[in-house]
Structure 1
Amino acid sequence: ADNECNIEDKRLWIGNLDPRVTERHIIRFCFVNYWYRLLKLLQKFGAIEKFDLLFHKTGPLAGQPRGYAFVTYVHRQDAQTMMDAVDGTLFGTKNVAVRWAHTMNKVMQQIPILYRLNLKMYSLLL
């Protein structure tokens, strides 16, 4: 039954992420370390199919994280378990929020405002 789930049934939005990672003066090591720790936390709940970290593409915050991420688990139950365990918990200096992700319509998907960090490729994609 898990294999029959739509990706939307296994995809979560993670918001209210630590604002320190969006400040321009932060050193690269701290930025990478924060997201690595987040990814390691998420992996404790099950196999991850995809991890999307979104960045501002233009404007004064260009290149900086948008303060939220998306994670898609292989199994819906792992996503549910992670949401139940992590929502509202302190990570960095903020209590993170975890919700089921909403599907973006095709028009919104084509607007070039986001960079994506794909877990499988570990590279930035448009």
Structure 2
Amino acid sequence: MACTLLLSSRKDLNGMSNETSDRRIYVGNIDHRISEATLLKMFSPFGKIESEDFLLHTRGPKRGEPRGFAFVQYSTKEEARLAKEKMHGRLACGRPLVVRLANEKSAAETVESSSKVAGVVSRSIHSGNSSGQMSRSAKIAAIKNKLKVLEDDGSRAKKQKQVEHYSS
């Protein structure tokens, strides 16, 4: 399998192409003893898996070790929803799996993951091309998203203080 860095020119707010986000699931809280092959065996009963991204640490003392989460892309959105329904909360090596549609990520997770995209190792079943570092425009977009989240959080806190001041 070829290692690739997933970057698409047409992305939604979560950093995924619009055509695949509804067929792609996030699988989190994966025990480090679960291999890529085991993950595929666990999720293949729910439909045809087109690709999977089993994320590994790319530097530091944990280099090459699993990061504890992955993405699985099915051929249809129905298969992805079925996998989410059947596998969310299911115990694997004593840990409950967190499974959700990839486009259901919160804004804070989106900012965090988009700023770390350059360090992600992605393995794709069908894709054989690699694209190197994250583009400058993608980095700028990640910073803008992070600033927007911070501004939104700051304005909510300010409004809350005003409400508390006027109500006392």
| TM-score class normalised by the smaller sequence | 0.7 to 0.9
Q: Which has the greater radius of gyration?
A: 2
Residue in 2 that maps onto 1:116? 122
* 2:20 is the counterpart of 1:7: yes
| Runs of 4+ in structure 1 over 4 Å off | none
Say if 1:82 and 1:10 are closer, same or farther in 2 by CA, change over 3 A: same
Cα offset for 1:11?
Answer: 0.8
> Compared with structure 1, are the counterparts of its residues 36 and 111 closer, same or farther at alpha carbon in structure 2 (3 Å cutoff)?
closer
Q: Is the 8 A contact 1:116 1:125 kept in 2?
A: no
Q: Which runs of 5+ in 1 are unaligned?
A: 22-33
Which residue number in structure 1 is paired with residue 41 of structure 2?
Answer: 40
Distance change >3 Å, CA 45–CA 69, structure 1 → 2: same
Query: Percent identity among equivalent residues?
Result: 30
Output the CA distance in 2 between the equivalents of 1:109 and 1:50: 23
- The range that moved more, 35-44 or 82-91, is 35-44
Residues 93/79 of structure 1: CA separation in 2 closer, same or farther (3 Å cut): same
State whether residues 32 and 65 of structure 2, in contact with CA within 8 Å, keep that contact through their aligned partners in structure 1: no
Output one character per residue of 1:58-101: Cα deviation in whole Å (capped at 9) or x when no partner. 11211111100001111000000010000000112211110111
TM-score (norm 1): 0.72
Contact 1:16/1:96, CA 8 A, preserved across alignment: yes
- SS for the counterpart of 2:78 is helix
| Partners of 1:10 and 1:72 within 8 A in 2 | yes
Q: 1:82 to 1:111 in 2, by over 3 A?
A: closer
Question: Partners of 2:83 and 2:54 in 1: how far apart?
Answer: 17
Does the residue aligned with 1:19 lie in a helix, a strand or coil? Answer: coil
Query: 1:92-111 to 2 correspondence within 5 Å?
Result: 92-102=93-103, 108=114, 111=117
Alignment root-mean-square deviation, CA: 2.9
2:65 corresponding residue in structure 1: 64
Describe the shift of the 1:110–1:87 C-alpha distance in structure 2 as closer, same or farther (beyond 3 A). Answer: closer
